[in-house]
């Protein structure tokens, strides 16, 4: 019988009490800044909180207020408590006395609109136990609280500023939890990976971490300038019957009213002219401060060369968004031809013919999903890896090809997440793995997790008993994770 006991660690900011079981210490709801509530709803993240006495860190914390995710079916749904008081960390640690353990810091995805580091799907118990690393997850502001673009009203990119504040806290305090602050690897998926790219493009973030793992970053996302972003703040007020010019109302509106405005907001926004466009209403913006250009543009020029990286995509990124979506399911061949003509001009016929011969069955909606996936995820990720290699960084790239048993999902966006965390029972309701063979899930998770955590520990995802994973260079070699795990180049 495993016995749970209390453990107290001394950080530079005060004493923290967590729980310890089977050699692993766990700390929940560890604050890295003051709560961004009340008058602080749209304030910059504060300096770290310093407290007296012992801070109780034994109960899981809330996640940022949000609506249901558009990917709930693919990801599964999990118990969550919503609260604006969400600027906190969850930490799983072997608590080595000499603070020598490598550190993995994970930033959740969710399209800048949903998710939270405290969700059960991101529980780091098995990841920390299997790897011997300290695992940290970050919760941060999202949606209209984290990515409102009204520079005259509030600071921009608050969600990314929260993440940076969290990384600074971790750098100062992680040794108290047994972690080596000089061997921090950040990992993120989707919006979390894009946030890491934004930091790699910002010279002020150099030194916050040593290595980075970017899982399905939407690097093809084109950011608006802060003063040119869609008028989402006034739109939210308008649908609530409030004066759209009085943005100060957003400071005092109850959070349930803000969520109701968020639910109604699409009624006020013009529809996208790009079929299958899934850009959420709130995203990072180019503000000349935290973000000075689209992150991929800076990275192509070498801004991330100081950081060794792994970047990966799934084979059918957009099938998560297309599954059950009438736009994709009802997309016609005529519409497909028109869209390829818009994107590729005179080359449209040739490109479309090749696309048809790569996809079986070659339904118009599936080909549209492939087009959007290539633009948003796959092609810019290859460009990222190429740039890293060209500028002297060690760079690795993977493609997750193992596909969901659910028909039509394929190797969809988010499918690699349960294989990283290893807590497959927690993910059992997610369509991405529901119905799959348990041995197959466990064995692939073991290989995927060990390869990525080898990179966290040593800077290389290779080990004597793992598949060869050469650095990405001009030969275009990727490691493909499927029922056979092997590296090869794909054109």
Which sequence spans correspond to the domains of the chain? 4-227+286-327+369-489
| C-alpha–C-alpha distance, residues 179 and 94, integer Å | 9
Ordered per-residue pLDDT tens for the chain, 491 residues: 567 899 999 999 999 999 999 889 999 999 999 999 999 999 999 999 999 999 999 999 999 999 999 999 899 999 999 999 999 999 999 877 688 999 999 999 999 999 999 999 999 999 999 999 999 999 999 999 999 999 999 999 999 999 999 999 999 999 999 999 999 999 999 999 999 999 999 999 999 999 999 999 999 999 999 998 888 999 999 999 999 999 999 999 999 999 999 999 998 888 889 999 999 999 999 999 999 999 999 999 999 999 999 999 999 999 999 999 999 999 999 999 999 999 999 999 999 999 999 999 999 999 999 999 999 999 999 999 999 999 999 999 999 999 999 999 999 999 999 999 999 999 998 999 999 999 999 999 999 999 999 999 999 999 889 999 999 986 788 999 999 999 998 76
Residue 118 catalytic? no
DSSP 142-200: -HHHHS---TTTS-S-HHHHHHHHHHHHHHHHGGGGTEEEEEEEEEEETHHHHHHHHHH
In angstroms, rounded to a whole number, what is the distance separating the alpha carbons of residues 64 and 84?
Answer: 6
Contact present, 240 and 257 (Cβ < 8 Å) = yes
190 as an active site residue: the answer is yes
Cis peptide before 361 (omega within 30 of 0): yes
Question: Angle between the 232-239 and 255-264 helix axes, to the nearest 10 degrees?
Answer: 100
The verdict on whether 317 is a catalytic residue reads: yes
Q: What is the CA radius of gyration of the chain?
A: 22
From the candidates 118, 131, 139, 190, give the one annotated as an active-site residue: 190
Give 175's DSSP letter.
G
Flag whether the pTM goes above 0.95. yes
Q: Which of 317, 339, 381, 395 is catalytic?
A: 317
- State whether residue 251 is helix, strand or coil: helix
| Active-site choice (28, 323, 413, 480) | 413
Looking at residue 224, the DSSP 8-state letter turns out to be: P
Domain range 4-227+286-327+369-489, CATH class: alpha beta
Question: Both tokens of residue 434?
Answer: 């529901």
β-strand partners of 136: 91, 105
Query: Distance between CA 278 and CA 317 in Å, rounded?
Result: 12
């Amino acid at each position: 019988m495993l016995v749970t006991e209390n453990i107290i660690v001394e950080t530079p900011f005060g004493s923290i009490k967590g729980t310890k079981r089977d050699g692993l210490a766990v700390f929940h709801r560890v604050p890295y800044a003051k709560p961004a509530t009340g008058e602080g709803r749209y304030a910059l993240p504060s300096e770290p909180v310093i407290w007296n006495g012992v801070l109780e860190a034994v109960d899981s914390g809330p996640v940022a207020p949000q609506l249901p995710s558009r990917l709930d079916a693919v990801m599964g749904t999990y118990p969550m408590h919503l609260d604006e008081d969400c600027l906190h960390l969850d930490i799983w640690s072997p608590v080595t006395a000499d603070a020598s353990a490598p550190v993995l810091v994970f930033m959740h995805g969710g399209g800048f609109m949903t998710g939270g580091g405290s969700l059960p799907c991101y529980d780091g118990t098995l990841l920390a136990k299997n790897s011997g690393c300290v695992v940290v997850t970050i919760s941060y502001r999202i949606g209209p609280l984290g990515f409102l673009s009204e520079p005259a009203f509030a600071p921009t990119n608050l969600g990314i500023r929260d993440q940076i504040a969290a990384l600074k806290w971790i750098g100062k305090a992680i040794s108290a939890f047994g972690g080596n602050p000089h061997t921090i690897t950040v990992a993120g998926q989707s919006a979390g990976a894009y946030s890491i790219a934004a930091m790699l493009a910002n010279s002020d973030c150099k030194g916050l971490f040593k290595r980075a793992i970017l899982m399905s970053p939407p690097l093809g996302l084109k950011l608006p300038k802060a003063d040119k972003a869609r008028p989402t703040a006034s739109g939210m007020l308008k649908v609530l019957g409030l004066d759209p010019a009085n943005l100060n109302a957003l400071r005092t509106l109850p959070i349930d009213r803000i969520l109701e405005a968020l639910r109604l907001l699409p009624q006020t926004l013009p529809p996208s002219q790009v079929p299958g466009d899934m850009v959420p209403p709130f995203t990072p913006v180019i503000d000349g401060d935290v973000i000075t250009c689209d992150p991929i543009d800076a990275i192509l020029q070498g801004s991330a060369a100081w950081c060794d990286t792994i970047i990966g995509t799934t084979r059918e990124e957009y099938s998560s968004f297309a599954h059950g979506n009438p736009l994709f399911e009802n997309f016609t061949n005529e519409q497909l031809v028109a869209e390829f003509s818009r994107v590729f001009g005179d080359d449209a016929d040739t490109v479309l013919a090749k696309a048809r011969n790569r996809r079986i069955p070659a339904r118009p909606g599936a080909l549209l999903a492939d087009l959007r996936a290539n633009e948003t995820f796959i092609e810019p990720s290859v460009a990222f890896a190429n740039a890293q290699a060209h500028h002297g960084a060690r760079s690795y790239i993977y493609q997750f090809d193992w596909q969901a048993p659910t028909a039509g999902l394929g190797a969809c966006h988010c499918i690699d997440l349960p294989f990283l965390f290893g807590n497959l029972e927690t993910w059992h309701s997610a369509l991405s793995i529901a119905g799959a063979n348990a041995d197959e899930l466990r064995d692939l998770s073991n290989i995927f997790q060990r390869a990525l955590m080898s990179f966290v520990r040593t800077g290389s995802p290779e080990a004597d008993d793992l598949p060869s994973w050469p650095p990405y260079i001009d030969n275009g070699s990727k490691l493909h994770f499927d029922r056979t795990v092997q590296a090869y180049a794909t054109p």
